[in-house]
Amino acid sequence: MMAKRYLSIHEAHELLAKGEVSSVELTEAALQRIDEVEEKLRAFVTVTRELALEQARHADERIKSGEFSVLTGIPAMIKDNMCTRGTRTTCASRMLESFVPPYDAAVVEKLNAQGMVMVGKGNMDEFAMGSSNEHSAFFPAHNPWDLERVPGGSSGGAAVSVAAGECIYALGSDTGGSIRQPAGFCSVVGLKPTYGRVSRYGLVAFASSLDQIGPVTRDVTDCAIVLNAIAGYDRQDSTSVDRPVPDYTKSLVPDISGLRIGVPREYFVEGMESGVEQVIRQAIGKLEELGAEIDWDVSLPDTPAALACYYIIAPSEAMANLARYDGVKYGYSAPEAKSMWDAMEKTRQYGFGPEVKRRIMLGTYALSAGYYEAYYLKAQKVRTLIAREFSEAFAQCDVLVTPTSPTVPFRIGEKMDDPLQMYLSDVCTLPINIAGIPGISVPAGFVDDLPVGMQILGEPFSEEMLLRVAFAYEQATGWGERKPPVQGKGR
């Protein structure tokens, strides 16, 4: 049987379990779709065709033997900053262009144990620094809703591939919005779990106190399924939290009556597009119709400081993390250097792109002896205030609702010469990483055929609550069912 292009994990699993489709067929369908559209979308840095078919054959055997899970045999994409044994892991950087890890990231190991079929590694902004995928050292990815627009970033490839039917689900990483913002821009579901919920072992570090891995999926049910598989304590990650993992699919009940939903007024920011604001206000109206109590009187007054705080803390951590790329240990190494210092300089000159260099400069400046207290220490204090404001808000409300981004997907090239404008596309998402709380983006509608995402936030480890609200909203609206127009031939 021909596998349908836009199956969800749970639909595909049902067909696999009934023997109506095989994993090899599902995988071939995904690979065929990749062949059709990839020239236009560029969602993949590497397509792992042979590996995928081999894993699919194994999955089919497992299914026949009766020992399989809901993720067995389902085609997936992994963002290219998560280590995959034997498959190159580039972070979309020249520095790691030919780096083949000798081990799997913890999340990859977990998915492999469930019988994942990995069709490839996802395009991204270099080292996950960016909001548009244009900072990939290789090529930008394109938005399947409008090829002239960005898919968001840094996990652009993950969102594009799920939205366009090149795989069924993907893993992304989120330091300041990199799962939620592209999910919003491509009309798919993206969840950044609570800091510590998912192991970061084997995730190439950008800003270690902010980074978190999470699912990018076609619907909320799939999001719960993938979170079930990747969440949990890992002693290889000292910041992972030892706390039981509930069955997240149990929270998928379309009932939010009586829930208190807060709307923080600072998130309807200046510069927000009126179309986006309208869509989100309608979405909030829908939540009210579904029985939630809406509290319009929530304030997070330090929100305007979050962007500055993030752009001190993230580059400071990044500059320390990126010091390991010296041309000696692994990755690119400049040939023909005169001395050790010369080798290091030439390696970094070529190996790092402009945005990565900018972050290293920012971080080095913020941490330097003369400025440490004025910038880094101050930013840490602001971080504490922001986290405290969120916990006060959650004493008043069960969840908060905001737009995922202040705009619809922007045009490729539009913000490349203006880093500050680019940084602003994450105003609504990065406070969440600063506070370490979870956030999910769900499709909430369209403005002139371009997707808008709604972000739902909760206190630490409230993923069940977020999924419940997201699920109720999804069931009542079905925005995620609309599919992008990208075709194999022509436009």
When binding is defined by CB under 6 A, the residue of 84, 178, 199, 405 that contacts ligand GLN is 178
Residues touching ligand GLN, count (CB under 6 A): 13
> Which of 175, 477 has the CB closer to ligand GLN?
175
Choose one: 58-66, 172-180, 378-386, 450-458; the region binding ligand GLN (CB under 6 A): 172-180
When binding is defined by CB under 6 A, the residue of 22, 175, 221, 249 that contacts ligand GLN is 175
Among 95, 160, 175, CA closest to 129: 175
Strands 44-47 and 75-79, by their bridges, are unpaired
> Which of 30, 128 has the CB closer to ligand GLN?
128
Residue 352 CB-half CA count within 13 A:
25
Q: Give the angle 170-173-174 at the CA atoms, nearest 5°.
A: 130
Interhelix angle 49-65/23-41, nearest 10 degrees = 150
Please tell me whether residue 314 binds ligand GLN under the rule CB under 6 A.
yes
When binding is defined by CB under 6 A, the residue of 34, 43, 128, 290 that contacts ligand GLN is 128
CB of 313 to ligand GLN, least distance (A): 10
Subset of 199-218 contacting ligand GLN (CB under 6 A): 206
Binding mask 375-414 for ligand GLN (x = CB under 6 A): ----------------------------------------
Would you state the structure tokens that stand for residue 413, as one six-digit string? 């090239």
> Which three-class secondary structure string do you get for 210-240?
CCEEEEEECCHHHHHHHHHHHECCCCCCCCC
CB of 176 to ligand GLN, least distance (A): 3
- Measured in Å, how far apart are the chain's first and last C-alpha atoms? 28
Supply the residues annotated as catalytic: 79, 154, 178
Residues in contact with 36: Cβ distance below 8 Å, sequence separation at least 6, in sequence order: 487, 488
Residues in contact with 453: Cβ distance below 8 Å, sequence separation at least 6, in sequence order: 180, 181, 183, 184, 185, 187, 190, 403, 404, 405, 441, 442, 443, 444
Binding mask 413-442 for ligand GLN (x = CB under 6 A): -------------x----------------
Subset of 28-87 contacting ligand GLN (CB under 6 A): none
Please tell me whether residue 174 binds ligand GLN under the rule CB under 6 A.
yes
Instruction: Kindly calculate the radius of gyration of the chain based on its CA atoms and give it in whole angstroms.
Output: 21
> Which of 123, 178 has the CB closer to ligand GLN?
178
CB of 192 to ligand GLN, least distance (A): 8
CB 411 within 8 A of CB 421: no
> Which of 129, 261 has the CB closer to ligand GLN?
129
CB 490 within 8 A of CB 197: no
Choose one: 101-109, 169-177, 319-327, 337-345; the region binding ligand GLN (CB under 6 A): 169-177
DSSP 204: P
Choose one: 92-100, 122-130, 287-295, 384-392; the region binding ligand GLN (CB under 6 A): 122-130
When binding is defined by CB under 6 A, the residue of 23, 55, 87, 131 that contacts ligand GLN is 131
- Bridge partners (DSSP) of residue 298 are 264
When binding is defined by CB under 6 A, the residue of 75, 120, 122, 130 that contacts ligand GLN is 130
Chain residues binding ligand GLN by CB under 6 A are: 128-131, 154, 174-178, 206, 314, 426
